[in-house]
Structure 1
Amino acid sequence: MLTTQRKQYLMDLLRRDGQVVAKAVSEALGLSEDTIRRDLRELAREGLLQRVHGGALPAMPASPALADFGARERISQDAKAAIGRAAAALVVPGQVLLVDAGTTSGHLVRSLAPDLRATVVTHSPSVALALLGHEGIEVIMLGGRLYRHSVVGVGAATLEAIGQVRADLCFLGVSSIDPEAGLSTGDFEEAAVKRAMWRAAVHTVVLASPEKLATSSPFRIAGADEIGAIVVAHGTDEGLLARYRALGVAVHVAQPE
């Protein structure tokens, strides 16, 4: 079977079944899994599907959250404010918190109780500045190279600093989240930092505003089944939320004011 024929077969299978399992296809065609995986990688680079562990799924739309920080501040403002309040309610006094960068994270820290005593570790200058008025919160800034697109520290120094932290709770921002494709973002180095933050915490909560749901970004952070919880906006499709719950992910639905 020629390469073009194999790829057409894979796309037809994807349209019919909604997924491609590399091992099953290799057995059906009598070809190696490496050959099928190579075809899937090439199709993914063309934007025709999304690669996942063991095979492929239909291509998903790119996330609006890939825009720069200023543009993202104007997206889903009410939903992000509600998600920030709901996430702040999960914090227990005395905890060490890893707080990721992002516009929703800004709403989170501004919603923390004024008398809260805790420690916040962050690589986001905007998160740190938002906590200046919280005298009971010790703020630890992580160093690194400033990634201007997200206004956040990245690189080797940031990763080394995160490695010295053991947090109770990590509030993670992502560009995209999907039950099958997992968590992803638009920059390779930023994905590495987010992955390190997730691994440095006992429990991770993803702040999932509406524009991030059921979308895909280029660089994977973790599987959806590897996080503890998500906070979503009121009105999020219950069918989608059921898929997260089936993975063992706790779902917190933020209520509007």
Structure 2
Amino acid sequence: MIQQQRHDWILSFLAERDILSVEEAVRKLDASPATIRRDFNELTKNNLIRRTRGGIKRIANSINGVTPYPLREVRFAKEKHALASKAVSLLQSGDVLMVDGGTTTFHLANCLPNFPLRIITNSLRLANVLGEKRVGETPLEIFLSGGHLYPFSGQLIGPQARAGLSQYNADWAFISVGGINEENLFYSNELVVETEQAMIANADKVVVLADHSKIGKRAMCHLCSLNRVHILITDFWPEHETMYNRIKEAGVEVITVETDAHTS
């Protein structure tokens, strides 16, 4: 297993648990103690984990309410990819879509259909991947909002980002959230909320991509009322069926996708 694969596994493990010892990592990754310690040191240097006696632990505190992107990226990665795959099935040739800087919507980059689209985003990460993947292929126009680069997120925020997004109108807005219930959408950071709201306000249809951990949950900031949302795409969990029904009763189409964890 190469270094990046080990790092991804370590971060994914810590997304579900608090502590990982050198001994357990050696067993799970079939690597030497010296290799594991080097991995731990590298991740610590990048402020992704914290060293403890004999191992590492997850960094509990987020940065201004936002967990560092690499930690969010590996959490429920399979589920997020499944949501993105379902979302792109809604698109038609020539559509204009706004896409936010979330780790769920980032998976759209690897799922887009082979026909012309125009994508407006405040995500440098998404724009970079799309720019590299689509060279020489079907025409894909990418528009960046401009704005202030928010640390550790790859997202452009602030008045310039909001103004940049507001000059467009899109067929779709694909957004991620910190939580959703039968009344409202929530986000974890007030600085990012403004760009999310600009996308919602300037799209004909709003699609929320939310893995099961966001269903029925709240986050610090109110994003918008549920009546601004047209479609929710989430991975199916039987425990959430009551909430699915409440969201449907509020007028939102709920699309569930099957994953390895739970199937419908």
Return the TM-score normalized by structure 1: 0.71
1:89 corresponds to which letter in structure 2? S
Query: Is 1:203 aligned to 2:205, yes or no?
Result: yes
1:140 alignment counterpart: 143
Once residues 199 and 148 of structure 1 are traced to their aligned partners in structure 2, the CA distance between those partners, rounded to angstroms, is 25
Aligned partner of 1:83 in structure 2 is 83
The alignment status of 1:160 with 2:159, answered yes or no, reads no
Residue 165 (structure 1) shift: 0.4
Aligned to 1:251: 254
1:67 aligns with 2:67: yes
Partners of 1:207 and 1:107 lie apart in 2 by: 11
1:93 deviates by: 1.0
Residues 66/209 of structure 1: CA separation in 2 closer, same or farther (3 Å cut): farther
Q: Identify the residue that residue 234 of structure 2 maps to in structure 1.
A: 232
Alpha-carbon distance in 1 for matches of 2:217, 2:241: 17
- CA distance in 2 between counterparts of 1:90 and 1:66 reads 29
SS in 1 for 2:205: strand
Partner of 2:104: 104
Q: Which residue of 2 aligns with 1:92?
A: 92
Instruction: Measure how far apart 1:208 and its partner are.
Output: 0.8
Q: CA deviation at 1:169?
A: 0.4
Code of the aligned partner of 1:195: Q
Q: Is the 8 A contact 1:97 1:170 kept in 2?
A: yes
Cα deviation, 1:208-253, whole Å, max 9, x if unaligned, reads 1122122211111101122111100033522111011000001111
Quote the Cα distance in structure 2 between the aligned partners of 1:174 and 1:102: 8
How far apart are the structure 2 equivalents of 1:171 and 1:120? 10
**Distance (whole Å) between structure 1 residues aligned to residue 217 and residue 152 of structure 2:** 20
How far does residue 109 in structure 1 lie from its aligned partner after superposition?
A: 2.2
What SS is found at the alignment partner of 1:82? Answer: helix
Give, in angstroms, the shift of residue 81 of structure 1: 1.1
**One-letter code of the match for 2:204?**
V
| Contact kept? 2:212, 2:236, Cα under 8 Å | no
Partner of 2:115: 116
Counterpart CA distance in 2 for 1:120 and 1:208 is 20
Structure 2 unmatched ranges of 5 or more: 1-61
Residue 177 of structure 1, CA deviation? 1.3
Give the equivalent residue in structure 2 for 1:127: 126
Greater relative contact order (Cα 8 A, min sep 6): structure 1 or 2? Answer: 1
Residue identity opposite 2:219 in structure 1? S
Residues matched between the structures, number: 192
Q: Say whether the 8 Å CA contact 1:69–1:149 is kept in structure 2.
A: yes
Return the alpha-carbon distance in structure 2 between the equivalents of residues 104 and 95 of structure 1: 20
Distance 1:101 1:123 in 2: 6
2:189 pairs with one of 176, 187, 190: 187
In the TM superposition, residue 187 of structure 1 has moved relative to its aligned partner by 1.6
Measure the CA separation in 2 of the matches of 1:137 and 1:251. Answer: 29
Q: Which amino acid aligns with 1:209?
A: D
| Map of 2:214 onto structure 1 | 212
Alpha-carbon distance, 1:255 to partner: 3.0
State the TM-score, normalizing by the size of structure 2: 0.69
Please give the alpha-carbon distance, in whole angstroms, between the structure 1 residues aligned to 2:258 and 2:115.
22
Among all aligned residue pairs of Structure 1 and Structure 2, give the percentage whose two residues are the same amino acid: 27
- Aligned equivalents of 1:211 and 1:253: distance in 2? 14
The alpha carbon displacement at 1:66 in A equals: 4.5
TM-superposed deviation, 1:195:
0.6
